[in-house]
Amino acid sequence: MIASSFEYFAPTSVDEALSLLSEHGDDAKILAGGHSLIPAMKLRLAEPAVLIDIQRVEGLKGISESDGKLVIGALATHHELESSDLVNRTLPILAQTAGEIGDVQVRNKGTIGGSLSHADPAADWPATILALDADLKIVGSGGERVVKATDFFEELYTTALEADEILTEIHVSIPDGNTTGTYLKLHQVASGFALTGVAAVLSKSGDVCENIAVGITGVSDVPYRASEVESALAGRALTADNIAAAAEKAADGVDILEDIHASEAYRSNLAKVYTRRAIEGAAS
Amino acid sequence: MATMAGPSRLIGAPIKRREDPRLVQGLSHYVDDIKLVNMHHCTFLRSDYAHADIKSIDTEAAENLSGVVKVITGVDIQGKVGSIPCAAEIEGLKVPDHPALAVDRVRFVGEPIAAVVATDPYVARDALDLIEVEYDELPTVVDLDDAIESDSTVIYDEFGDNIAFTMPLDAGDVDAAFAEADHVVSQRFVNQRLIPNSIEPRGVLAEYLPGEGTLTVWSSTQVPHHLKTILSLLLDLPEQLVRVIAPEVGGGFGSKLNVYPEEAVVAYLATELRKPVKWIEKRSEGFTTTIHGRDQVDYVDMAVKNDGTITALRAKLLANMGAYHQLLTPIIPVLTYLMMPGAYKISNIKLELIGVFTNKMATDAYRGAGRPEATHIIERMVDLAAQKLGMDPKEIRFKNFPQPDEFPLEMATGVTYDSGNYQMSFNKALDTVDYANLRTRQAELRSQGRYLGIGVATYAEICGMGPSVGVAGGGWESSTVRIERTGKVTVLTGVSPHGQGQETSFAQIVADEYGISIDDIVVIHGDTGRQPQGIGTFGSRATAVGGAALIIATQQVKEKMAQIAAHMLEANVDDLVFEDGNIFVQGSPDSAVTFADVAATAHVAVNLPPDVEPGLEATHFFEPSNFTYPFGAHISIVEVDPETGEIDLQRYVAVDDCGNIINPLLVDGQVHGGIAQGLGQAMYEGAVYDENGQLLTGSFMDYAIPKATQVPRFETEHTTTPSPVNPLGVKGVGEAGTIASSPCLVNAVVDALSPFGVTDIDMPMTPNRVWQAIQDAQ
Amino acid sequence: MATTQINTTINGEDYTHEVEPRLLLVHYLREVAGLTGTHVGCETSLCGACTAIVDGQAVKTCTMLAVQADGADITTIEGLAQDGELHPIQEGFWERHGLQCGFCTPGMIVAAHQLLERNPSPTEEEIRHGLEGNFCRCTGYQHIVDAVQYAAEKMQG
């Protein structure tokens, strides 16, 4: 319940935060909403010597539209994404995903940037961010770079972020009216994390699927794009049979997690069933 | 004597709780809200291993940390703090020494090893990381079936095996009944280990005043009087100088019906340091070191005739004690043993109950305590028998219920059910859900590939604990009624409510008896320094036993008041009426004395009738003649998604008969909460240890207690069959919901999945388990 | 031990203290500000007993450092009743028997406050969803739902 002692900094600019990060290196942790880090610190699973609270950093908040893209500040809370008119109008799957995270209090405080940087294998955002092919803007002492969502999640709790870098923005292209998406999730009954979460985004021409992207979380160490499913369906009619056949490939080639909440066989089954249902939901 | 009360106004009415204004404003005081001058803070270092020898403990660095006042280990308190007691009396019971801090060996993960006292809780926590313990790991015993194998590791060398006790029963002629049976059904049941998780964790604050020699202990406990007596024995202090206060207590569900090592150690530290010492349990400590519930593996056979008559029951019950006995650990499965017949007349019963030590936290009373296990067994077995016979689950139940005129009914297990009308409550439940139509609808849906399940559980349970012969430490209860000089009434009771609402229901009883406003009554509880002796709140006993003591004490004082009033009115005692704050001769309300006037007269004491002593106060110790046996019928309707194993609980109907009802609002609250906990067991909850005895479900991240979205709206109904064993005719309702609901829900899911050939499913019925059951059956 | 100064407004009163950065907001409220109505029920940000309103948002104060609340306007359970009158949600909990042991109640009421602020006439399902972050072990939630419905009607006038 009680964290180890640490030194606390509350920078007000990205530059200030970055210089603190380079100064303290691996001893430092970035504190955003705190809903991944503080619980770990209370159990002393994380004992950073330095905490850099970026809550007051200018320019990391807010959600806006720019050049056909939705620009989401890393400090945007799940609640802001869930309730934003702009998000609900342009990319409702983001609002839908946000609404599936934790509970009201967690959504009020937890941030999209914090969640993505923490990279919990059962977090909700990765599925949707993958399916939307988002770009993640990262700044570090070496400057600014953009990483594709598909390149961001590397290993369990490990992302493309270097120790001296901060995720600052998430950019998502706003699709045309032909594109629809659904995020479907089976909650782990205790924690509320995803036993399986599937985000399906697709566009169709008549009954034919033009483009499809499926992001899956909770099933493996690392969230992934179900590319076998996508290729099995792209260019095909969105019939129940075709969807079902494609969804059967949802866990192909994936190392599937097993824990006290779900066996490997069950998770594999969930991935397929939830993929099918998510695609059906998006297609309907 | 004045036997005529005014018209009953409050008993039976849904009176709003008098506890609530302070609680809804955050103005009440739980243990952690109490702060004393110079208060110090205690934390416990706990074993990381389930079974290990302690080679060494180095506390030096912790002691040197600024702010740390004291660090103690088991060796430091040997001979100073007695062994944590078990009150159970069972023939041949093996009772291991249970030091408050482990000395040479640890036997479960979380067992306390050392205690730190510091001026600040943050410092106390830091100090734990500075204590070095060297262990020699030992093989662990975690599985019940394995623990009783002859080649198992033995947890107590001195006992030779892991069997804590064996309790046999052979009633009637079981072998003959099985030989003559048309069918025999057999099933192994796992009644999984649960973690109570009251939302307020445990906590203790102790203060010792060396001049007076008094020890005051504030503890989040259900049994302050037991704690007072036991602490005085453990610390060798005069009992009269020990006072235990249970302030606001945030739920217990049996988990605070105990005496814990932390209570003894904190009290000891307060006497030793002569400073107030507080310890508040962290939730992670609660998971590993507050008692757990259930944890049985049961092997059961049932003999039935073709017409559905159950002729015999045979069972081996393995009950997990954990590593030590807590206060009532071995008693809990005895309640399973006693209630094995459930709501049915079964005259031939053969049982073998075996209590087993393992390297886990002790089990003890958790809501229902032994009866959910019995009810699960019998209600599942009855459904299995019905399935085998091709009978409707409804028919087999009616076939085996006793008739209402057969009560009091002596059962084969030795208990005598007080009163009952099982047909009435079951019929009411069946009517409420329109059972016949439900079955039709189920058949229709099945033809569409949808899996609706209808689950039934008809139960009888044992509560109102109880006659002293059946309750370790005494089963009586005491209540005092004192009418103050101003006519205000103080009720002091030995029961120790922690959510049940007796500040309201007990005041209702007294207000009606005296014909006064409920606002003139204050109910005080949970303080051994203010009230007479008592036992506490558990086993759905508070109203059945404490309320019974109260009504008798109330009537004793009333009798005296009537004598004084008769003297003042120059009237006959037998003609007096107590109504609207007045006492008068029936029919002559205009010439009344007020209740307050009589109270004043009793205390001023210059105008008393001859031979009447001053004062208006009575204490009654009520000893019930028997337990009470509430009963009822629950029906649930589920739909299962066979692709994912998810269960949609669509409807839950509970018809409970808890005898007379004092406050229907509170009764409904108890039923709702009880069902939610049984539903938790059926669908979500289960403690999981790995093969090394590590608790894998050690936080709310992995152990699911039901959330608001995970329970449906419950429909509650009642029938009323008064109990003859107490003057209020009440039976008790705290546990009924928990006892009936888990088998009710399992029966529903098994019913839904019967087309797949599924005949049983272990709890919790997680989506994974349900899905797997379907795969396995196909 | 390094400390940081924080300024907060709690239930309309201003507070200034030097605190250790690791001090949790819930401990600040309970031990420093002396407002013990906000409770601690778990360590994992799930039970919601510690819920308070920080700058208009219901948050779990066990998952927030006091230093993060520097400059914040905080409302705790003690701040809901006005001039001796219970807030309609508090009244609803009393009227509908929405509590038993009372330990979860302050957090539950504060969460319900946020819920009704965002959705003044919620359905039963919306109420349950809105209270997902608050555990109650006593009531089975039904009377809590009733209490929030009572409050919603009363607040709608």
Query: Which C residues, 2 through 41, put their C-beta within 8 Å of a C-beta on chain B?
Result: 20, 22-23, 30, 35-41
The CA–CA distances, whole Å, from B521 to B2, B305, B477 equal 20, 58, 20
Report domain extents, chain C: 4-79, 88-156
Comparing CB atoms, the residue among B122, B282, B772 nearest residue A266 is B772
Residue B347 has pLDDT above 80, yes or no: yes
Q: Which residue type is seen at B452?
A: L
The pair phi, psi for residue B572, each rounded to 5°, is -90, 130
Of B583, B607, B622, the residue that ends a domain is B622
Contacts of C112 in chain B (CB under 8 A): none
| B724 prior amide bond cis, ω within 30 | no
Closest C-alpha to B617, from B559, B694, B547, B702:
B559
Contacts of B20 in chain C (CB under 8 A): 93-94, 99, 102
Split at pLDDT 50, 70, 90, the class of A69 is very high
pLDDT in tens, C108-154: 999 999 999 999 999 999 999 999 999 999 999 999 999 999 999 99
Shared domain for B645 and B523, answered yes or no, is no
Which residues of chain C fall short of a pLDDT of 70?
Answer: none
Shared domain for A169 and A183, answered yes or no, is no
Residue B2 has pLDDT above 60, yes or no: no
Range B573-576 contact pairs with CB under 8 angstroms and sequence separation of 24 or more: B573/B1, B573/B2, B574/B1, B574/B2, B576/B2, B576/B4
Q: State the pairing for strand pair C73-75/C51-54.
A: antiparallel
Split at pLDDT 50, 70, 90, the class of B1 is very low
Q: Which residue type is seen at A66?
A: S
- Distance from B687 to chain A by nearest Cα, in Å? 10
- Comparing alpha-carbon positions, the chain A residue that sits nearest to B122 is A2
Measure the CA–CA gap between B79 and B88, rounded to whole angstroms.
23
- Distance from C111 to chain B by nearest Cα, in Å? 13
Inter-chain touch B29–C142, beta carbons under 8 Å: no
Q: How high is the pLDDT of residue B8?
A: 64
Q: Which of C4, C7, C45, C47 to mutate to test the interface with A (most CBs of A within 10 A)?
A: C45
Inter-chain touch B696–A260, beta carbons under 8 Å: yes
Measure the CA–CA gap between B143 and B164, rounded to whole angstroms.
15
Q: Domain residues for A66? A: 58-173
DSSP for C62-119, written as a single string: GGSBGGGGTT-EEE-GGGTSBTTBPPHHHHHHHHTT--SS-SSHHHHHHHHHHHHHH-
- Comparing alpha-carbon positions, the chain B residue that sits nearest to C96 is B16
Shared domain for A63 and A47, answered yes or no, is no
Q: What is the SS3 assignment for B295?
A: strand
pLDDT in tens, B233-243: 999 999 999 99
Q: Is residue A49 part of a domain?
A: yes
Comparing CB atoms, the residue among C44, C67, C132 nearest residue A103 is C132
Q: Which residue type is seen at B370?
A: G
Inter-chain touch C43–A43, beta carbons under 8 Å: yes
Shared domain for B107 and B219, answered yes or no, is yes
Shared domain for A259 and A215, answered yes or no, is yes
Inter-chain touch A6–C65, beta carbons under 8 Å: no
Comparing CB atoms, the residue among C59, C68, C70 nearest residue A105 is C59
Shared domain for B280 and B373, answered yes or no, is no
Q: Is residue A121 part of a domain?
A: yes
Measure the CA–CA gap between A280 and A94, rounded to whole angstroms.
18
pLDDT in tens, B444-469: 999 999 999 999 999 999 999 889 98
Domain C4-79 in CATH 3.10.20.30? The answer is yes
Q: Which of A105, A266, A274, A277 to mutate to test the interface with B (most CBs of B within 10 A)?
A: A266
Q: How high is the pLDDT of residue B470?
A: 84
Assign residue A150 the CATH number of its domain: 3.30.465.10
Shared domain for B505 and B419, answered yes or no, is no
Inter-chain touch C114–A42, beta carbons under 8 Å: no
Q: Is residue A276 part of a domain?
A: yes
Shared domain for B650 and B545, answered yes or no, is no
Which residues sit opposite C144 in a β-bridge?
A: none
Residue B170 has pLDDT above 70, yes or no: yes
Q: Average pLDDT of A57-76?
A: 96
Q: Is residue B186 part of a domain?
A: no
Shared domain for B607 and B641, answered yes or no, is no
Inter-chain touch A186–B768, beta carbons under 8 Å: no
Assign residue A279 the CATH number of its domain: 3.30.390.50
* Burial degree of B680 (CB within 10 A; 0-12, 13-18, 19+): buried
Split at pLDDT 50, 70, 90, the class of B140 is very high
Q: How high is the pLDDT of residue A268?
A: 98
Range B403-406 contact pairs with CB under 8 angstroms and sequence separation of 24 or more: B406/B345
Measure the CA–CA gap between C19 and B283, rounded to whole angstroms.
24
Name the pTM for this structure.
0.97
Q: Which helix (H) or strand (E) holds B653?
A: strand B647-657
Count of structural domains, chain A: 3
Token pair 């003559």 in the structure block, residue: B180
Shared domain for A188 and A261, answered yes or no, is yes
> Within 10 A of C42 (CB to CB), how many other CB atoms are there?
26
Shared domain for A81 and A142, answered yes or no, is yes
Q: Is residue B321 part of a domain?
A: no
Q: Is residue A43 part of a domain?
A: yes
Q: Which of C3, C5, C68 to mutate to test the interface with A (most CBs of A within 10 A)?
A: C68
Q: Is residue B337 part of a domain?
A: no
Residue B396 CA to chain centroid, in angstroms? 30
Measure the CA–CA gap between B689 and B193, rounded to whole angstroms.
10
- Comparing alpha-carbon positions, the chain C residue that sits nearest to A8 is C21
Assign residue B656 the CATH number of its domain: 3.30.365.10
Provide residues of B within 8 Å CB-CB of chain A: 121-122, 125-126, 129, 282-284, 643-646, 684, 688, 696-697, 700-704, 710, 766-768, 771-772, 775
Closest C-alpha to B630, from B602, B661, B651, B666:
B661
Residue B374 has pLDDT above 90, yes or no: yes
Q: Are A266 and B771 in contact (CB under 8 A)?
A: yes
Inter-chain touch A35–C45, beta carbons under 8 Å: yes
Q: Are A138 and A161 in contact (CB under 8 A)?
A: yes
Inter-helix orientation angle C105-118/C88-95, to 10°: 120
pLDDT in tens, B600-646: 999 999 999 999 999 999 999 999 999 999 999 999 999 999 999 99
B200 touches chain C (CB under 8 A): yes
Contacts of C64 in chain A (CB under 8 A): 34, 38, 109
Which strands sit side by side in the sheet containing B477-483, from one edge to the other? B521-525, B489-493, B477-483, B617-622
C60 touches chain A (CB under 8 A): yes
Q: Provide the token pair at B626.
A: 């028997």
Where would I find the beta strands (DSSP E) of chain A?
7-9, 28-31, 50-53, 63-66, 69-73, 135-140, 143-148, 153-155, 158-159, 165-173, 179-187, 194-205, 208-217, 224-225
List of chains touching C (3+ CB pairs within 8 A)? A, B
Of B576, B594, B622, the residue that ends a domain is B622
Q: Which residue type is seen at A87?
A: V
Split at pLDDT 50, 70, 90, the class of B7 is low
Q: Which of B643, B691, B697 to mutate to test the interface with A (most CBs of A within 10 A)?
A: B643
Contacts of C140 in chain B (CB under 8 A): 672-676, 706, 711, 714, 737
Which segments of B631-695 does DSSP mark as H helices, in order?
664-679
- Distance from C46 to chain B by nearest Cα, in Å? 7
Inter-chain touch A2–B710, beta carbons under 8 Å: no
Q: Average pLDDT of B254-275?
A: 98
List of chains touching A (3+ CB pairs within 8 A)? B, C
pLDDT in tens, A70-114: 999 999 999 999 999 999 999 999 999 999 999 999 999 999 999
Q: Provide the token pair at B544.
A: 């059945």
Shared domain for B128 and B240, answered yes or no, is yes
Q: Average pLDDT of A3-14?
A: 97
Q: Is residue A1 part of a domain?
A: no
Q: How high is the pLDDT of residue A92?
A: 98
Contacts of B645 in chain A (CB under 8 A): 266
Q: Domain residues for B203? A: 34-138+199-251+256-289
Q: How high is the pLDDT of residue B594?
A: 98
The CA–CA distances, whole Å, from B195 to B255, B395, B687 equal 9, 36, 7
Shared domain for A71 and A12, answered yes or no, is no
Query: Which C residues, 73 through 102, put their C-beta within 8 Å of a C-beta on chain B?
Result: 76-78, 80-81, 86, 90, 93-95, 97, 99-102
Residue A175 has pLDDT above 50, yes or no: yes
Query: Which B residues, 489 through 518, put their C-beta within 8 Å of a C-beta on chain C?
Result: 498-501
Q: Are A69 and A97 in contact (CB under 8 A)?
A: no
Q: Is residue B204 part of a domain?
A: yes
Mean pLDDT of chain A: 97
Inter-chain touch B283–C101, beta carbons under 8 Å: no
* Burial degree of B638 (CB within 10 A; 0-12, 13-18, 19+): buried
Shared domain for A235 and A185, answered yes or no, is yes
Residue A221 has pLDDT above 90, yes or no: yes
- Comparing alpha-carbon positions, the chain B residue that sits nearest to C134 is B707
The pair phi, psi for residue B235, each rounded to 5°, is -105, 0
C57 touches chain A (CB under 8 A): yes
Residue B3 has pLDDT above 60, yes or no: no
Measure the CA–CA gap between B770 and B647, rounded to whole angstroms.
8
Which segments of B580-624 does DSSP mark as H helices, in order?
595-604
Closest C-alpha to B193, from B361, B70, B339, B27:
B361
* Burial degree of B289 (CB within 10 A; 0-12, 13-18, 19+): buried
Q: Is residue A2 part of a domain?
A: no
Count of structural domains, chain B: 3
Shared domain for B107 and B223, answered yes or no, is yes
Q: Are A64 and A170 in contact (CB under 8 A)?
A: no
Inter-chain touch C43–A31, beta carbons under 8 Å: no
Contacts of A265 in chain B (CB under 8 A): 772, 775
Closest C-alpha to B532, from B581, B582, B573, B492:
B492
> Within 10 A of B744 (CB to CB), how many other CB atoms are there?
29
Residue B5 has pLDDT above 60, yes or no: no
Domain C88-156 in CATH 1.10.150.120? The answer is yes
Inter-chain touch A109–C20, beta carbons under 8 Å: no
